[in-house]
Every structure is written in C-alpha cells, then in structure tokens.
Amino acid sequence: MSKKAILSKILDMTRLKLIFVFFLLSAVPLYPFETEIYPEKPKAGTGFLLLIRGSNLFSYEITCGRKKYAPYRRDRILEIFLPIPIGAQDTLSILVKKQLAGITLSRKLIDLPVEKREIKTVYLRQKDEAMRQKEPAVEEQQSLFLSAVATQTLERRWEAPFIQPLDSPVTTPFALYRKGKLYSYYHKGIDIAAPRGTPVKSANSGSVVLSETGFNIYGSLIVIDHGQGILSSYLHLEKIFKKNGDTVEKGEIIGEVGSSGWATGPHLHMGLHIQGTSVDPIAWTEFTETLPASKSPEKSEPAH
Ligand SMILES: [Zn+2]
C-alpha cells in the first residue's frame, strides 16, 4: 500500500471516529446531570444557590431571567449564587445546558417556585425628586457604581455567614417602591440609622473595587468584592478607611456612618449585589447563616 493510500485510510478512520463521537454527543438522554437548588422556595428579591454535579470535562451554561451565567467550580462541584428579581411572581425558569466544546449535550429546564414579595409604595415629594434630577455627573457616577457591583471574580473570598455592618435597626427596608411624578424606583438596599461616626464593618472578606468621595447621591462610598459575583456596598459614609484594591477581612472597620450625598440624616445605606442584581441584605445574611462555613450545603435536598 502506498503512503498516500495509508494516509487516506487513517483520515477515513478519523472521520468515522468523529461521526461516532458526534452521534454519541447528540444522544441527549445519555448525558444527564444532577442539580440542586437551595432554598427550595426562595423569595423574590433574594438569592439562591444552584449546585451542579459534573466532571471537569464539561462546561455548563445557565440561563435565568434572560441572562446567561457560568457556574464557578469548587472542588468537584459547580456552584453559582443567583438573584431573583424583586418583582418575580410564582416561578422562575432556569435553563441549564451541559456542553462540551460548545456543543450542547443535554439540557434541563427547572421551574423554581418563588415566594412573592409584598412591596410597599411611598410617594416622593417634589423637593426630593428635584434633588435626584439626573445630571451628567450623576449618570456617570451611577454607571461607575453599577459596573463596580457587577464585578466578576472567580475566587470565593467570603465565608458563610455574612454579618450586619452595624448593630442598629433597619429604618428603610429593601424594595420599598418610591413613586414620583418624574420617575419611580425601588430602594435597592437597606437603610440603617446610627449616630454620625459609628464604625461600619465589612459584611465579609473581600477586596475593595470602588472607594470614592463626593458622589452627588451616594456621597462617600465603598464597594467590596467577595468573589463569585457577590458584592456589598456602603453609602453616605462620613469617613472611609479603605482605598481601591485594599483587601478587607470580615468584620473589619471600613468607614464611619455619615450623611454624605443625598441623605436627610446620618445613616448607612447598605447594598448586596449578586451577579449585578441587588438583593435584600438582611435575607442574604439569614440565608448564609444556614450555609455551613466555607462549604456548600452538600446535604440539602435536591429541588428536582
Ligand atoms: Zn437607602
């Protein structure tokens, strides 16, 4: 047999193998995978944990609320914390695709039951609305803030549970709807009233991705990246003790309560952000209290 003939035979074999592999890959039911969701019925405006058990060979793509996400690998498990929009009703559809080299091997559609959130409405006074008029500077500051809270860091820097930055009571809850004539918005965090100068603790370990002063609305602020798309923000501070790039420990004092920016009195506005979406910081703290320290809930019941 000539060299050419041998070569073409090898090529034929390769082609056959490829066809065989493709056939295997397209046989969808051959590649099932396990998922777990915790808690089983999360509330709108909170976060939940999705676990996928799978080998290192495969990648997974998650579609939830028209956004695509990739889970984070930790040991032999894939995990991602995802947000539920404030206004979510009854169920949230989650599509998980198992892929190899961009080819979808199998897919799983999960209809996650969601507990609706009661939303209170307050009406903005005209004076307050005028204060919040969108100026070019405000737009710029808000886009800086929004891109900071959407930071994606693969490494998990936090340990369960998250803690409260202040020991004072919440004065304005999460998701209060402020309705105005010109515009309306949800209160995407919690307000905690405390005397000026009260030390503010970091809710968990991480690194500072935004430390600024003089924002028209937010005043002096700090945003901390805890890894895996989870961030916390602290607004209206009197003093800030951390700068961009600094690492912080859980419970470390990062600043002092103030009334900088758009604030009627000294208070801390704290935000908790999951994959760029704001969730209820109190509910998030309570949720992480149910997670074993630095470990995923291996023993939680499979949701489906
Ligand atoms: Zn607030």
CA of 138 to the centre of ligand 1 (A): 16
CA of 271 to the centre of ligand 1 (A): 8
| CATH number of the domain bearing residue 278 | 2.70.70.10
The average pLDDT across 217-222 equals: 96
List the one residue out of 282, 241, 269 whose CA is nearest residue 43: 282
Task: Tell me the sheet residues that pair with 215.
Answer: 219
* pLDDT value for 6: 79
Do 156 and 280 share a domain, yes or no? yes
Q: Final residue of a domain: which of 94, 113, 132?
A: 113
Question: Do the bridges between strand 206-215 and strand 185-186 make them parallel or antiparallel, or are there none, so unpaired?
Answer: unpaired
| CATH number of the domain bearing residue 98 | 2.60.40.1870
- Measure the CA dihedral 253/254/259/263, to 10°: -120
What digits encode the pLDDT tens for the residues 136-168? 888 899 999 999 999 999 899 999 999 999 999
Residue 278 lies in a domain: yes
CA of 175 to the centre of ligand 1 (A): 10
Q: Would the pLDDT of 48 be above 80? A: yes
Q: Final residue of a domain: which of 113, 140, 174?
A: 113
Residue 74 lies in a domain: yes
Cβ(216)–Cβ(200) below 8 Å: no
Residue 165's Cβ-count burial label (10 Å; 0-12, 13-18, 19+) is buried
Task: Out of 96-100, 179-183, 238-242, pick the least confident.
Answer: 179-183
CA of 171 to the centre of ligand 1 (A): 9
The mean pLDDT value of the chain amounts to 89
CA of 174 to the centre of ligand 1 (A): 8
Q: What is the pTM of this model?
A: 0.85
CA of 124 to the centre of ligand 1 (A): 14
CA of 182 to the centre of ligand 1 (A): 19
Task: Out of 4-8, 210-214, 233-237, pick the least confident.
Answer: 4-8
